[in-house]
């Protein structure tokens, strides 16, 4: 029994001596790895602040810039960790860690496919110069002012003050019309005048009214005027002119003003804007010339 205890004690001493020798042997590498980790931590903090400062100049959304700076800092820390493991000759642990990270990343990516898609789309949208907060856009069947672009969704405020929240990936996958990219818009105005009207006078009067109503239209020659068809109760025309505008609301206001001024001018000059008229003609001679026979026919039916 004493011999077994002595042998176990000797084995323990040998094991401790081996560990001690290993610690002494790898102590410089361990200290160097700690230094690398600490250095990577402070570098990550500096990179985080620097990245955020640079991204803030390009992206107005706070959440996007914060996330990008944090991701950059995490990458720096991970690089320091892998370098520290390599210094300590833990190549197997490093390989296992990379394999585990790859499997975990694949599982998380499959589980959060929609969320990650919206997140990546949000980052891309934040860096697009052609889509900025405050622009008036039309996309996915909605039109309004861009209120917010974050990591999950794209927020619009429509003309009726309703808020529309659209997933970011739908913005990238569908066409988007940005009215704020240009400072000019063309107003289309359709109307009709009576058949008795002097068409040349109507054209010149309409152009003059538009030119006087809008400072952007320098002369009546800048207004396009085309007669389009002989309608049921009117001769219809299309009038087009340019205005300085960056949103659909300004375009609607300009169209409203044009309609009001044209109506006033037409009323003053006696030009008729007819509305649809239905004429009922009773030409059944049988009913008026022979009421008795008509009544007999009606009763038989």
- Dist CA 50 CA 69 (whole Å): 8
Decide if 223 contacts 217 (C-beta within 8 A): yes
Domain boundaries, the chain: 2-111, 131-178, 182-269
Q: Specify the pLDDT at position 119.
A: 77
The answer to whether the Cα torsion of 260, 261, 262, 266 is positive or negative is positive
Q: Specify the pLDDT at position 145.
A: 86
Task: For tokens 């931590």, name the residue.
Answer: 41
- Dist CA 98 CA 105 (whole Å): 10
Q: Specify the pLDDT at position 174.
A: 87
Decide if 124 contacts 68 (C-beta within 8 A): no
- Angle, helices 91-111/62-87, rounded to nearest 10 degrees: 150
Q: Specify the pLDDT at position 255.
A: 92
Q: Specify the pLDDT at position 87.
A: 75
- Dist CA 249 CA 135 (whole Å): 12
Assigned token pair, 72: 């950059």
2-111: CATH class: mainly alpha
Q: Specify the pLDDT at position 295.
A: 56
User: 17-31 as b/e, with b when 16 or more CB fall inside 10 Å?
Assistant: eeeeeeeeeeeeeee
Estimate the share of the chain in helix, then strand, then coil, as percent rounded to the nearest 5.
60, 20, 25
Q: Specify the pLDDT at position 200.
A: 93
- Angle, helices 2-56/62-87, rounded to nearest 10 degrees: 150
Q: Which residues of the chain have pLDDT under 70?
A: 1-9, 11-13, 16-27, 59-64, 90-115, 277-301
Q: Specify the pLDDT at position 36.
A: 83
- Dist CA 206 CA 215 (whole Å): 15
Q: Specify the pLDDT at position 163.
A: 92
Span 131-178 CATH architecture = Roll (2.30)
Q: Specify the pLDDT at position 205.
A: 94
Q: Specify the pLDDT at position 126.
A: 73
What's the CATH number of domain 182-269, 3.30.70.100, 1.10.3720.10, 3.40.50.720, 2.60.40.10? 3.30.70.100
| Dihedral in degrees, nearest 10, Cα atoms 233, 238, 239, 241 | 160
User: 271-297 as b/e, with b when 16 or more CB fall inside 10 Å?
Assistant: beebeeeeeeeeeeeeeeeeeeeeeee
């Amino acid at each position: 029994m004493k011999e077994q205890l002595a042998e176990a004690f000797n084995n323990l001493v040998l094991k401790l001596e081996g560990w001690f020798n290993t610690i002494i042997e790898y102590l410089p590498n361990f200290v160097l790895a700690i230094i690398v980790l600490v250095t990577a931590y402070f570098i990550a903090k500096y990179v985080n602040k620097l990245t955020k400062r640079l991204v803030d100049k390009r992206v107005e959304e706070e959440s996007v810039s914060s996330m990008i700076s944090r991701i950059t800092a995490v990458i720096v820390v991970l690089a320091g960790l892998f370098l520290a493991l390599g210094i300590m000759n833990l190549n197997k642990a490093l390989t296992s860690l990379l394999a585990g990270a790859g499997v975990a990343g694949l599982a998380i990516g499959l589980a959060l496919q929609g969320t990650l898609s919206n997140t990546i789309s949000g980052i891309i949208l934040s860096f697009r110069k052609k889509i900025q907060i405050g622009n008036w856009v039309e996309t996915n069947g909605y039109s309004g002012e861009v209120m917010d672009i974050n990591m999950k969704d794209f927020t619009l405020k429509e003309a009726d003050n309703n808020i529309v929240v659209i997933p970011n990936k739908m913005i990238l996958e569908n066409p988007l019309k940005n009215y704020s990219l240009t400072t000019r818009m063309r107003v289309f105005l359709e109307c009709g005048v009576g058949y008795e009207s002097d068409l040349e006078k109507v054209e010149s009067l309409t152009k003059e009214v538009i030119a006087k109503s809008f400072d952007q239209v320098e002369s009546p020659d800048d207004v396009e005027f085309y007669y389009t068809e002989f309608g049921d109760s009117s001769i219809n025309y299309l009038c087009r002119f340019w205005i300085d505008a960056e949103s659909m609301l300004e375009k609607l206001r300009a169209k409203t003003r044009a309609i009001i001024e044209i109506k006033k001018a037409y009323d003053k000059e006696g030009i008729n804007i007819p509305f649809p008229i239905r004429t009922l003609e009773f030409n059944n001679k049988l009913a008026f010339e022979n009421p008795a026979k008509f009544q007999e026919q009606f009763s038989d039916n």
